Amino acid sequence: MSTIILGIESSCDDTSAAVIKDGYLLSNVVASQAVHEAYGGVVPELASRAHQQNIVPVVHEALKRAGVTKEELSAVAFTRGPGLMGSLLVGVSFAKGFARALGIPMIDVNHLTGHVLAHFIKAEGEENVQPEFPFLCLLVSGGNSQIILVKAYNDMEILGQTIDDAAGEAIDKCSKVMGLGYPGGPRGFERKEECAQVILATGGVSYPATGSTGDGYAFAADLGHTIEPLRPSLTPLLSSHAQMRYLDKVLLRNVRATLYVDNEPVREEFGEIGFSDRGIEGAVALRMSRDAVDALIEEKRVKLVLDLKPALTEEVLHERIAREIAELQPNEFFGELLRKLVPKPLVMPLAQEVDIRANCYVGKITEEQITRLVRTLKGLTFPITDYAPFEYAVVTAGGVRCDEVNPYTMESLKVKGLYFAGEVLDIDANTGGYNLQIAFSTGRLAGSLKK
């Protein structure tokens, strides 16, 4: 059985969560805290507050990217110290609560030991050369520089260490004294501009390949704005239906789809449904995902029911199938009958679904089997168990709360001269150009820079 560990790191100003399976890194999510830049160093109290804000979405995202559910975790590891007391407390408390709720072990990790043993983390598709024991490790980490003799995973001897600032802190302090800003290093040398008005139009976090890193949310939060929880929207839906793997690349046109949440119909759509290795997609499924994602987050039961013959009542469809059977020879196959009713790639999965062999003779089909076929064609049901992650979501739901922004000017009601436009705001809409329209309209308003 695999060992899957969720690791949580909150010793300083980065909130991080990673998922490791049998030594291989599956995901690693880091939320950096820009709030400290204004002070030229990490402010412990602000760091703790930012950790509190970040930890839930960071862990959620790490599990999501790893494709791992909470229930699959074997243990939760967390940084015990050294580090900032308040920051550590957030990570430790979260890890304890999470592990206890799941009934799995907790592993406390010494921050510096974690740095040393990071050499043993493996990545899929890489060479993964690992040091052999014993070896010497030069550790240059924030406020600590050490030379460590590493004899085994749990046997290390510190041969020497700094008693004052370590290299990381020295760079930060030099950078600050020289007027190059905080933190030191490449960012310290970036050009800074002062301006009376700024428009934040950094998009969401979906489709990160387009440059959407979610920076805007961190900037807005640091400036005092409330960020409504981020969720993938217009994203493929995942189903536990046994036939899913046989439906890859199937495209169904003119279907009526109904989304059920806890057995109540909540949305009905008509149009195209597609299947791919990402899940159930196509315009209809993507639109449905707006409700489905929220329901799944609330751990409600979600199912998608497809009516493949929306123009026909059950009665009329029954008559039509009886007619088709009469026109076929009795020794022709059930698959031939299905071929007259649905696209070819759907024939085998549908035969499986109605539990009639595709090579069964149509002459042997019973009335009861026809009724079962009619019901399946009118209500092909897919239990929805999950949704595709931000990587595949067309837009991001959630973001900067709209009631903290003047809707006539897009200026922040909290920070004068700060304007917002586009997906960074907590507005998202259906497919059909509405999301682009939101970006254009808010961009136009913000770009007028009206007070």
Ligand X SMILES: Cc1cc2nc3c(=O)[nH]c(=O)nc-3n(C[C@H](O)[C@H](O)[C@H](O)COP(=O)(O)OP(=O)(O)OC[C@H]3O[C@@H](n4cnc5c(N)ncnc54)[C@H](O)[C@@H]3O)c2cc1C
CA distances from 441 to 86, 149, 241, 437, 438 (A): 42, 61, 41, 6, 5
Q: List binders of ligand X among 172-191 (CB under 6 A).
A: none
Q: Which of residues 326-355 bind ligand X (CB under 6 A)?
A: none
Smallest separation, CB 425 to ligand X (Å): 8
In this chain, which of 265, 433, 447, 448 binds ligand X, going by CB under 6 A?
A: 433
CA distance 438 to 428: 8
Q: Of 79-87, 343-351, 364-372, 430-438, which segment contacts ligand X by CB under 6 A?
A: 430-438
Binding to ligand X (CB under 6 A) within 242-261 occurs at none
Beta carbon of residue 111, minimum distance to ligand X (angstroms, whole number): 28
The one-letter code for the residue type at 164 is: D
Maximum C-alpha span of the chain: 92
Phi, psi of 275 (to 5 degrees): -120, 140
Task: Tell which positions 205-224 bind ligand X, by CB under 6 A.
Answer: 207, 210-213, 215
What order of strands is seen across the sheet that includes strand 135-141?
135-141, 144-152, 155-161
Residue among 207 and 361 whose Cβ is closer to ligand X: 207
Does 201 engage in binding with ligand X (CB under 6 A)? Answer: yes
Considering beta carbons, is residue 170 or 251 the nearer one to ligand X? 251
Among 203, 232, 236, 399, binds ligand X (CB under 6 A): 203
Stretch that binds ligand X, among 48-56, 89-97, 196-204, 224-232 (CB under 6 A): 196-204
Q: What is the 3-state secondary structure (H, E, C) of the chain?
A: CCCEEEEEECCCCEEEEEEEECCEEEEEEEEECHHHHHHCCCCHHHHHHHHHHHHHHHHHHHHHHHCCCHHHCCEEEEEEECCCHHHHHHHHHHHHHHHHHHCCCEEEEEHHHHHHHHHHCECCCCCCCCCCCCEEEEEEECCEEEEEEEEECCEEEEEEECCCCCHHHHHHHHHHHCCCCCCCCHHHHCCCCCCCCEEECCCCCCCHHHCCCCHHHHHHHHCCCCEEEEEEECCCEEECCCCHHHCCCCEEEEEEEEEEECCEEEEEEEEEEEEECCEEEHHHHHHHHHHHHHHHHCCCCEEEEEECCCCCCHHHHHHHHHHHHHHCCCCCEHHHHHHCCCCHHHHHHHHHHHCCCCCCEHHHCCHHHHHHHHHHHHCEEEEEEEECCHHHCCEEEEEECHHHECCCCCEECCCCCEEECHHHECCCCCCCCHHHHHHHHHHHHHHCCCC
- Cα 434 to chain centroid distance, Å, stands at 22
Site string for ligand X, 359-398 (x = CB under 6 A): -----------------------------------xx---
Report in angstroms how near the CB of residue 291 gets to ligand X at its nearest. 18
Looking at beta carbons only, is 205 or 261 nearer to ligand X? 205
**Interface with ligand X by CB under 6 A: which range of 198-206, 313-321, 331-339, 366-374?**
198-206
- Smallest gap, in angstroms, from Cβ of residue 287 to ligand X? 12
Q: Quick one: which segment of 132-140, 180-188, 238-246, 433-441 binds ligand X (CB under 6 A)?
A: 433-441
> In the complex, which residue's CB is closest to ligand X?
422
Nearer to ligand X, 197 or 213 (CB): 213
Interface residue with ligand X among 53, 261, 435, 445 (CB under 6 A) is 435
Q: Is the dihedral of CA 150, 154, 157, 158 positive or negative?
A: positive
Q: Which is nearer to ligand X, 210 or 366 (CB)?
A: 210
Q: Report if residue 202 touches ligand X, rule: CB under 6 A.
A: yes
Q: Is 281 in the site for ligand X (CB under 6 A)?
A: no
Min. distance of Cβ 412 from ligand X in angstroms? 16
Q: Judged by CB under 6 A, does residue 289 bind ligand X?
A: no
Closest CB to ligand X among residues 302, 394: 394
Q: How many residues bind ligand X (CB under 6 A)?
A: 18
Counting contacts by CB under 6 A, is residue 439 touching ligand X? yes
Site for ligand X in 399-428 (CB under 6 A): 422-423
Q: Which is nearer to ligand X, 25 or 415 (CB)?
A: 415
Residue closer to ligand X, measured from CB, 20 or 234:
234
Q: How far is the CB of 40 from ligand X (least distance, A)?
A: 21
Examine residue 27 and tell whether it contacts ligand X (CB under 6 A).
Answer: no
Interface contacts to ligand X, rule CB under 6 A? 201-203, 207, 210-213, 215, 394-395, 422-423, 433-436, 439
